[in-house]
Each structure stands twice: as structure tokens, then as C-alpha cells.
Copies of this chain bind each other. A is one copy, B any other.
Amino acid sequence: MKEFARKQRDENRIVGLVPTMGALHQGHLSLIKRARLQCSSVVASIFVNPTQFSPSEDFAKYPRNLPADTEKLENAGVQCLFLPETKEIYPQNYSTYINVEGLSERFEGRLRPGHFRGVSTVVMKLLQIVQPQFAYFGRKDAQQAAIISRMTKDLNLDSEIVVCPIEREADGLAMSSRNAYLNREERGRALILHRSLELAERDFRGGERIAAKLISAARELLVSEPLVRVDYLDIVDPDSLDPVERISGKALIAIAAYVGTTRLIDNIILTS
């Protein structure tokens, strides 16, 4: 992989990296599409990263479908598919981990301790192996995007992190591998996440700048739906993830909620 990437750079190609864990959906493919607009050589990686799963999470059961993924990536026009084995990424005696402190402990990190340590570490390794000019991540995982962007800046990497918009189903549901876990009733009720975000966005466009007011209206709508249980609904700075009281400039409104037993996340950026 290093050799291929070096050769691409030597030929003055612009190398883009799209790191994934496979189980590809339209959200991933939109990252490839965006990468192809900017880069002359697009590398997609598929690696189900064990270090970002906690012992209680089921690494073994994470969906894997290499033949379908490969076909999708070929059709999407990637130049290279990087498929490392676990023992290549984490050889015996592996012991180096990256922590983006503060940013990694809140929101998703509170529920999944060590998750972002695993994410930061594997992304760092992929960035060092491929050394892309651009690397692409989805805004759906807004906290992950903030953490990777911060790490890249803090550690003086040459790669530029590009955060791409959320892909949605026709009815507004954010695309996610987890949507497959929803039954028909839950699938319908899950729409309330995006509707609640849209309500906040409407209030915001109507002039409301007080975060607490936007949150309380959105939360009221969110909890009105049967089968839905809120984990968090917050308005934060998209880079620092610090709570915002009065919005000036950009803010991120983020939701995590259970629909039945499936935990979903969604978010919208509010821009003055």
C-alpha cells in the first residue's frame, strides 16, 4: 500500500483516502464521489477495527460483505482498495495509541469508553500508510469528524480532512448500517430524529438564537414519538463540541436516541 501510494505521489497524482469499515451504503459512496472530484487517485480502505469496539460490543458480529462492497467500490471508480489484515495493522506487541483528550470523552465516548482512542489510532495509521492529500469522513459521525480533524491539526499532518454532508433516504432518515436493525414500525418512527432537527433549524431560521429554546422545542417533538428514547440532544460548537448558549456563527445540533432497541444518531449544522 505504501509503495502504491508513493508511486501515485511520484506521478504527481492527488491521492484521496476514504477509510471505511465496509458494509457500504450510499453514505460511503457519496464520500468516494466527493473524493473523485478532488483527487486523481482514490484509495478506499475496508478494515473492521477491533480497537474501537469495547469488550461488550460485538466486533465479531459487525456486518461484513466484501464481495458486495468490492463491487460497489469498483462501480464508484476507486483506483485502489486497501484491505489490511488485523495482524498487519496490530502486530504482536502493538502498543501505541492516540487520544484526543476531552473531545473523545463526551457524547458517543461517554457511552463507548475507548471507542475514539481506537478510531484516532487506526485513522492515524491509515493516514501514515497512504499519506493522502485529502481524507474523507461523513458528517453523520460529527464527533468522529471533529476528533480526526483535531488530531490531524494537532499532530501537524499534511493530510486535509474533508467532512462531507449526511446522505439521507428520500424521507429524511440519515443513512446508516444500523437502519437495517429497525422493523417496519420503528423505521417509520425513526423519522422523528430528522424532523426534530428540522424543527430546530426552522426556529433558528426564524431568528431564535438561544440554544436552550431550540433544544426544548426539538426535544418536545422527539419525545412525543412512541418507542423513542432520547440519549442526548445538544447544541455545540462543531469543532470543540463545547456547549453553545447563544448561537453566533456555526453550531451543531446533535441527537442520539433509541428507536426500540436500536440507537441512532443524527445532526444538522446551523449556520447564521
Interface residues, chain A, CB within 8 Å of chain B? Answer: 2, 93-103, 120, 124-125, 128-129, 150-151, 154-158, 240
Contact = CB atoms under 8 A, between A and B. Distances in A.
A95 B106 CA distance: 14
Contact of A97 (B94, B98, B157): B98
A94 B154 contact: yes
Nearest to A99: B97
Nearest to A157: B128
A5 to B, nearest CB: 11
A221 B127 CA distance: 50
A96 B95 contact: no
Task: Report the 7 A-B pairs with minimum CB-CB distance, sorted nearest first.
Answer: A96-B154, A128-B156, A95-B101, A96-B151, A129-B156, A96-B100, A95-B102
A96 B98 contact: yes
5 contacts: A96-B101, A96-B120, A97-B98, A97-B99, A125-B154
A93 B240 contact: yes
Contacts of A95: 100-103, 150, 154
A125 B156 CA distance: 6
A229 B99 CA distance: 37
Contact of A128 (B103, B150, B155): B155
Contacts of A98: 96-99
